[in-house]
Amino acid sequence: MTAFFTYHNPKKEYGKLPQQGLGSMTNEIIQQKLTEKFGDQLTNWEAQFGLLTFTGQAADNLKVLQFLYDDETLRFRFMTDLTAVHYPSRKGEELCVVYLLHNLVDNIRLRFKVYLPIEKPDVFTASKLFGSANWQEREAYDFFGVNFVGHPNLTRIMNPDEMDYFPMRKEFPMEDPTRRDKDDEMFGR
């Protein structure tokens, strides 16, 4: 019969959410350094599940990202994720671009949000700073229509090139209208 065992690390607390800032770098230090440099351009500080989140101005996103990259104590040199969200109820700033940054040395994560109006969703590209931003920005453009100014190749990445709408926006219907066999009664609409 096969032997079956799991690795048990007695020092680790299983079943709990990972805590940030167990070492010398904490959320408070990051917040303090950022407010020293940028003041009240950065708003809406909160920490969900220990992940520090803040909102910035769309025109200054590169300044904030560059500062987080260059600073020798902050060292946020890895971008885990770049995605977009559509909030149709926030008038004037419907699209939100979310950057998820990671400090590999101190193991701390940070979420940086930038809100954009839907009539003119322009924001500067982070692809010169982070290599992973290239395709992720193409995906955000493909599904939400966020225009990344300065991107080397801003074309659709997953959907067919001839598509002229942005599927993940809330005004686009979730279900395909050509389907004939689904009736409203059985599907609860």
Partner 1 sequence: MPRPVQYNTNVKPAVIPEGYAGEGYFSTTFDKIVELGRKNSLWPLPFATSCCGIEFMATMASHYDLGRFGAERLGFTPRQCDVLLVAGTISKKLGPVLRQVYLQMAEPRWVIAMGACASSGGIFDSYSVLQGIDQIIPVDIYVPGCPPRPEGLIDGVLKLQELVQGESLRRRNNPVYKELMESYGIQ
- List all residues 6 or more positions away from 169 whose beta carbon is below 8 Å from its beta carbon: 86, 143, 144, 145
With binding defined as CB under 8 A, does residue 175 bind partner 1? yes
With binding defined as CB under 8 A, does residue 159 bind partner 1? yes
To the nearest whole angstrom, how small is the minimum distance from the Cβ of residue 95 to partner 1?
18
- List all residues 6 or more positions away from 69 whose beta carbon is below 8 Å from its beta carbon: 75, 76, 77, 129
Report the C-alpha gap between 133 and 44 in whole angstroms. 24
Q: Name the residue nearer to partner 1 (CB basis): 10 or 160.
A: 160
# residues contacting partner 1 (CB under 8 A): 12
DSSP 176: -
Among 15, 72, 178, 188, binds partner 1 (CB under 8 A): 178
Residue 118 contacts residue 143 (beta carbons within 8 Å) = no
Among 164, 179, 184, 186, binds partner 1 (CB under 8 A): 179
Report which residue type is found at 11: K
Among 176, 183, 184, 185, binds partner 1 (CB under 8 A): 176
To the nearest whole angstrom, how small is the minimum distance from the Cβ of residue 158 to partner 1?
8
Among 181, 183, 184, 185, binds partner 1 (CB under 8 A): 181
**DSSP β-bridge partners for residue 113:** 55, 98
Among 15, 39, 92, 160, binds partner 1 (CB under 8 A): 160
Report the C-alpha gap between 109 and 86 in whole angstroms. 23
- Chain contacts with partner 1 (rule: CB under 8 A): 158-160, 167, 172, 174-176, 178-179, 181-182
